[in-house]
């Protein structure tokens, strides 16, 4: 069997990393994979060892590109995959057009990682467009129950053609003491500092502005609380300027793009996520794999990976004073943090095993292909 994993850009972001990890697991079981990005990746491109790694165009130039569609058609004709898995809305658009215009028997699986109603909002045009796209999709796999229920309700999509297949999160246990030592040598933090880590693209949805405001208040209460921001994105320069304009350069640090995210997480005391929109964030699982508890905004499917007061802390809104008090409490209560971290690790180990994940996908692919 041959699978075409289609991603927007071969980069280190949630949907793409998931598709990459899944592709590696599929290859280990003898399944051929084409790992294709619609648009050219950044310098640090995501590569799947053993797969055909390819990009269909240099950059995104408009809402629709005939060049991308033409490249996808040639790729499909050359490799003849049994199934295209679309990972992202742009990938779905081109996969559906390929099916409608050239290959009516093409099988499409869509990977749903977010809350689709938030993309559509109040737009009737978007709603019609997405209903039209999904009418050509053979099956939808979702990261969690919240996301799939939202999709079914919003698009009136057949429930029988959906399934929840959770993320597979590879666990690489990293020594926390060594990880903290490396952080101390690379960033201006001390051994007595309480380190929060955030991982995510610098976009409005990730709510970095709230993070900066939160740390500004925390700094006035406890100067030993620090924050490490990992990632890049459109708002990177704006957030960096805000940090230094507010004289927070000794409290908030920027790691930029990093491949070794789990190595940085392993040295943290607490993972923090303040997103306004999420599906089921893989970075929470990565933190849990290092026994690092999380404090998160309760949006989307976050509650499916963070069980409040069991594997982490859920915050119901963006009341900044409540966030401050909860973080200060966690800093002071080492025993609670250790318990939450161990529970998070056990949860990831039990429910997000990559081998279970890939077996479910293989069964699904075979069923659809037949």
CATH number of the domain where residue 240 is located: 3.40.50.2000
Average pLDDT over residues 320-339: 97
Residues 345 and 362 in one domain: no
The per-residue pLDDT for 59 is: 76
Residues 163 and 245 in one domain: no
pTM here is: 0.84
| DSSP at 197 | E
Residues 135 and 224 in one domain: no
Q: What is the DSSP string of 96-149?
A: HHHHHHT-TT-EEEEEE-S-HHHHHTT-HHHHHHHHHHHTT-SEEEESSHHHHH
Residues 150 and 189 in one domain: no
The per-residue pLDDT for 351 is: 87
Residues 60 and 141 in one domain: yes
The per-residue pLDDT for 172 is: 81
d(CA 6, CA 94): 10
* Helix (H/G/I), strand (E/B), else coil: 158: coil
Residues 58 and 134 in one domain: yes
Angle at 300 between CA 294 and CA 305, to 5 degrees: 40
Angle at 265 between CA 262 and CA 267, to 5 degrees: 120
The per-residue pLDDT for 12 is: 85
Strand partners, 36: 6, 54
Residues 204 and 318 in one domain: yes
Residues 365 and 338 in one domain: no
Q: What percent of the chain has pLDDT over 90?
A: 81
The per-residue pLDDT for 89 is: 85
**The dihedral formed by the CA atoms of 365, 35, 109 and 151, expressed in degrees to the nearest 10:** 140
Does residue 238 carry a pLDDT above 80? yes
Does residue 249 carry a pLDDT above 90? yes
Domain count within the chain = 2
Residues 125 and 218 in one domain: no
Length of the chain: 370
Instruction: Note the pLDDT tens digit of each residue in 91-136.
Output: 999 999 999 999 999 999 999 988 899 889 889 999 999 999 999 9
d(CA 162, CA 331): 41
Instruction: Note the pLDDT tens digit of each residue in 154-199.
Output: 999 999 999 999 887 777 889 999 999 999 999 999 999 999 999 9
Closest of 317, 316, 265 to residue 289, by C-alpha: 265
Residues 347 and 358 in one domain: no
Q: Tell me which residue range forms the domain holding 272.
A: 176-351
């Amino acid at each position: 069997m041959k699978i075409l994993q289609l991603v927007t850009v071969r980069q280190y972001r949630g949907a793409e990393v998931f598709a990459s990890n899944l592709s590696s697991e599929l290859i280990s079981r003898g399944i051929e994979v084409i790992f294709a990005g619609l648009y050219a990746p950044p310098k640090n491109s995501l590569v799947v060892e053993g797969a055909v790694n390819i990009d269909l165009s240099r950059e995104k130039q408009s809402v629709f590109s005939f060049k991308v569609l033409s490249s996808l058609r040639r790729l499909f004709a050359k490799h003849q995959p049994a199934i295209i898995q679309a990972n992202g809305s742009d990938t779905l658009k081109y996969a559906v057009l390929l099916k409608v215009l050239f290959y009516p028997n093409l099988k499409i699986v869509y990977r749903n990682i977010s809350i689709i109603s938030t993309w559509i909002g109040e737009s009737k045009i978007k709603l019609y467009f997405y209903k039209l796209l999904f009418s050509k999709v053979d099956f939808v796999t979702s990261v969690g129950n919240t996301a799939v229920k939202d999709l079914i309700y919003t698009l009136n999509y057949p429930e029988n053609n959906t399934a929840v297949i959770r993320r597979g999160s590879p666990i690489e246990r990293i020594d926390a003491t060594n990880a903290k030592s490396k952080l101390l040598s690379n960033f201006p933090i001390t051994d007595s500092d309480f380190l929060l880590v955030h991982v995510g693209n610098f976009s409005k949805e990730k709510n970095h502005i709230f993070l900066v405001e939160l740390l500004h208040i925390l700094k006035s209460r406890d100067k030993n609380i620090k924050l490490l921001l990992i990632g890049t994105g459109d708002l990177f320069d704006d957030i960096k300027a805000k940090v230094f304009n507010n004289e927070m350069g000794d409290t908030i640090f920027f790691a930029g793009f990093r491949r070794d995210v789990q190595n940085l997480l392993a040295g943290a005391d607490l993972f923090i996520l303040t997103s306004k929109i999420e599906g089921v964030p893989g970075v929470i699982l990565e933190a849990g794999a290092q026994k690092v508890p999380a404090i998160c905004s309760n949006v989307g499917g976050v509650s499916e990976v963070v069980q409040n007061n069991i594997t982490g802390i859920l915050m119901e809104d963006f009341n900044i004073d409540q966030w401050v008090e909860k973080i200060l409490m966690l800093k002071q209560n080492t025993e609670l943090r250790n318990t939450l971290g161990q529970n998070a690790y056990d949860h990831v180990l039990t429910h997000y095993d990559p081998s279970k994940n890939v077996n479910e996908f293989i069964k699904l692919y075979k069923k659809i292909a037949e």
